[in-house]
Homo-oligomer: A and B are copies of this chain.
Amino acid sequence: MRIHLRPLTRAAFLLWLMFASLFSSLTAHAAKRDFEMNIEDTRITLVEKQQYHTFAFAGQVPGPLFYVDEGDEITVNVNNLTALPHTIHWHGMLQRGTWRQDGVPDVTQEGIKPGESYTYKFIAEPSGTMWYHCHVNVNEHVALRGMWGPFIVRPKKPTALEKKVTKDFILMLSDWDSKYANKPGFGGLPGDKFDYFTINGRSFPDTQPLRVSKGDVVRLRLIGAGDLVHSIHLHGHVFQIAFKDGFPLTNPIHADTVLVGPGERYDIIFTADNPGRWMIHDHVDTHTMNGDRPHGGIMTVVEYTEIKHDDAWYPWKNKKFQPNFYYEESLKKGPGIYTDDVFKGQLIQ
């Protein structure tokens, strides 16, 4: 009989393995992630002396990083400490069966009034580069008041390409109108003139370098958080447009420039195989201005660790490096909800 028992035992074992693996893939990463987040009147500095009154999530612009696993249960209790109503829309989240958590005023809920709180609860799905933002008076709150942050959902089944990534950066692109810097509750009218342009809330030269080393596989998660279309150009490398709005392209597109519209996300991936000092910037020429001063705006430098940065004329020769300006340190740590002083502004009371 043993000769018959053995295969059965083996089959049972294999079956058990399959179930265990299935169960594990469905539940292993499922975690509960709770967060308490204030919305606060906060003054941030875009560049040099240009400050801006924002309604900042957790007092920072961009808001805290949500880095969670696909399937995680997210609970966010929001306290509105500002003088205007707000909501949070979790841009890209399917909200399957939870449409009332979608954060649209007068459609899925009433706006959260000043002094009030609201708890959002939903499952993180699908995976990819997502974001969150206020959905009240978006022309002002999103376009001018910094009410946005990154929401990255780690996939259960990463693509072959993303598995190779060694450096992961988030770049949120947005636009500002200095005329309204100190006029909360106003601004964002059709035809208004944007005159400051930022990556993660800062303009060149107050952005930070993207530090890489030869051999790195680099992922840039570009998020169109503002009102304008940005045309992001990387020097010295070919990248693959690998993901759009969090979803992998069947055939990634090779390019050196990518148009990023409001609300869109593009994950571009390239191999760091060409040591040097390489610009990455918006090719909309007027988006490289700080007001009326050129060589600013949406612009930064990919710095290879192999290359010295001591040319006398290099403006970042003595730059104070702030790691995590692109959330790279937090992303390395794995899932969690991360605030960071690098993005904190000054509380306005």
Show the binding face of A for B, using Cβ within 8 Å: 89, 91-92, 94-97, 99-100, 102, 104-108, 110, 126, 135, 137-140, 142-143, 188-195, 224, 226-227, 229, 231, 233, 235-238, 244-247, 249-251, 253-257, 259, 261-264, 274-279, 283-289, 291-292, 294-295, 301, 307, 313-315
Contact = CB atoms under 8 A, between A and B. Distances in A.
22 contacts: A95-B236, A99-B236, A99-B274, A102-B236, A102-B278, A107-B279, A126-B238, A137-B295, A139-B285, A139-B294, A188-B289, A188-B294, A189-B289, A190-B292, A191-B194, A191-B195, A226-B285, A227-B286, A245-B257, A255-B264, A261-B283, A262-B283
Nearest to A138: B285
A255 B244 contact: yes
A139 B290 CA distance: 11
**A interface, over-half SS:** loop
Nearest to A276: B99
Given A99-B276, A194-B191, A231 B294 contact: no
Contact of A259 (B94, B137, B229, B313): B229
Contacts of A231: 224, 229, 261-264
Contacts of A261: 229, 231, 257, 259, 283-284
A311 B188 CA distance: 29
